[in-house]
């Protein structure tokens, strides 16, 4: 099974958006992260619930730009790759969300939950 078969719509925000904007979007959409794009629509980061919690635990202000709290080293996967490869990337990097690209352009996201739902299709026994 290919990544494009299980990927979901990705929610994006501009890097100048605030932490408050990210929190409101995450709550409203019922999601666990937003992918951050720069003005040229290039993927530059991801902000997860954990990033937000870390920010607020350090007495963070809601008006801070998400570019200050986002994870900048973002792993991605091509939409045509097998979901086994996605599982490997996520396990080896200890991440729960993986943005999906096609021809260098962001097209979706897959999560650990998506992989669990497609577990019958994953060939690697180490995953379970």
CATH code, 72: 3.10.580.10
Query: pLDDT, tens digit, for every residue of 33-85?
Result: 999 999 888 999 999 999 999 999 987 888 999 999 999 999 999 999 999 99
Q: Is the pLDDT of residue 13 over 50?
A: yes
Q: Are strands 33-37 and 43-48 parallel, antiparallel or unpaired?
A: antiparallel
Structural domain for 16, as ranges: 3-127
Which two structure tokens, joined as six digits, stand for 7?
């990927």
Q: Which two tokens stand for residue 97?
A: 């969300």
Q: What is the pLDDT of residues 109-121, one digit of tens each?
A: 999 999 988 877 6
Residue 126 has pLDDT above 90, yes or no: no
How many residues in the chain? 128
pTM comes to: 0.87
Strand partners, 20: none
pLDDT value of position 127: 47
Residue 125 reports pLDDT greater than 70: no
Number of separate domains in the chain: 1
């Amino acid at each position: 099974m290919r990544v494009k078969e299980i990927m979901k719509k990705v929610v994006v925000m501009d890097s100048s958006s605030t932490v408050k904007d990210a929190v409101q979007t995450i709550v409203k959409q019922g999601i666990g992260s937003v992918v951050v794009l720069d003005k040229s629509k290039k993927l530059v980061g991801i902000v997860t619930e954990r990033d937000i919690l870390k920010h607020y635990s350090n007495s963070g202000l809601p008006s801070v730009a998400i570019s200050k709290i986002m994870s900048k080293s973002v792993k991605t996967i091509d939409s045509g790759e097998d979901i086994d490869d996605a599982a490997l990337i996520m396990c080896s990097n200890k991440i729960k969300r993986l943005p999906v690209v096609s021809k260098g352009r962001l097209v979706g996201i897959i999560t650990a939950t998506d992989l669990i739902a497609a577990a019958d299709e994953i060939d690697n026994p180490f995953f379970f």
